[in-house]
């Protein structure tokens, strides 16, 4: 649990790199236009998830200006398993970041997973089935990581359950806000993706 509380948060960059995928120039075969479009959409989601994390952190900082809740190890006799500053406990930053990513993946990928679009040929059917399995895997892994982080932060004594729930809500709100603002973010997102292609990492 100590590992989950302190270090599991670093799995998010790894997961987002997997969502980003292999750069187009590194692939052995040329992708079809629809495959390229979906790949670029996935990469845009990675960028939006990063923005959602920043928004979630901003929301947390704003809340902390008005609400100060001492850590459990400050207010109670708690067997603290990890060293931590005695700052505000509510809401949990780790959980907020985690659920900002989870929220973006759910909002972006769940409709694709549930899509019943008519497939024109067997190759397209295979591609859609493989894509659906991959996206479902990303969502499941993300949810497991997020829940483990939240539970671990309570277990090691640095948060109350309410802090974790508040952080999760902050993260989901941040994901929704970024989704709402997505059309205004499309131009800078496309610029970043174009630059990434220029330096052969997309």
| Structural domain for 58, as ranges | 1-18+31-199
Distance CA 21, CA 188 (A): 20
The CA-to-CA distance between both ends of the chain, in Å, stands at: 35
Query: Is 25 inside any structural domain?
Result: no
Q: How much of the chain exceeds pLDDT 90, in percent?
A: 46
Query: Is 180 inside any structural domain?
Result: yes
Cis upstream peptide for 91 (omega within 30°): yes
How many domains is the chain built from?
Answer: 1
Q: Is the pLDDT of residue 10 over 70?
A: yes
More confident residue, 200 or 178: 178
Query: Is 13 inside any structural domain?
Result: yes
1 DSSP 8-state letter: -
pTM here is: 0.89
What pLDDT, in 10s, does the model give residues 19-47? Answer: 998 776 677 667 677 777 888 888 999 99
Helix axes 122-155, 161-180, angle to 10 degrees: 140
Query: Is 10 inside any structural domain?
Result: yes
List all residues 6 or more positions away from 26 whose beta carbon is below 8 Å from its beta carbon.
200
Give me the CATH number covering residue 120.
1.20.144
Segment 137-141 mean pLDDT: 93
């Amino acid at each position: 649990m100590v590992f989950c509380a302190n270090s599991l948060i670093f799995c998010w960059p790894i997961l987002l790199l997997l969502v980003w995928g292999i750069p187009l120039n590194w692939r052995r075969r040329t992708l079809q236009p629809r495959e390229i479009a979906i790949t670029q959409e996935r990469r845009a989601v990675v960028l939006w998830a990063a923005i959602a994390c920043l928004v979630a952190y901003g929301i947390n900082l704003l809340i902390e200006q008005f609400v100060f809740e001492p850590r459990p190890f400050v207010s109670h006799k708690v067997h603290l398993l990890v060293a931590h500053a005695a700052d505000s406990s509510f809401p949990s930053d780790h959980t907020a970041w985690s659920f900002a990513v989870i929220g973006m993946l759910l909002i972006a990928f769940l409709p694709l997973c549930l899509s019943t679009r008519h497939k024109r040929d067997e190759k397209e059917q295979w591609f859609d089935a493989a894509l659906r399995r991959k996206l479902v895997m990303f969502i499941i892994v993300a949810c497991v990581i997020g829940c483990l982080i939240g539970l671990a932060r309570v277990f090691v004594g640095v948060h109350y359950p309410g802090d974790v729930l508040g952080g999760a809500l902050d993260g989901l709100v941040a994901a929704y806000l970024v989704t709402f603002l997505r059309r205004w973010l499309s131009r800078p997102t496309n610029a970043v993706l174009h630059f990434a292609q220029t330096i052969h990492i997309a």
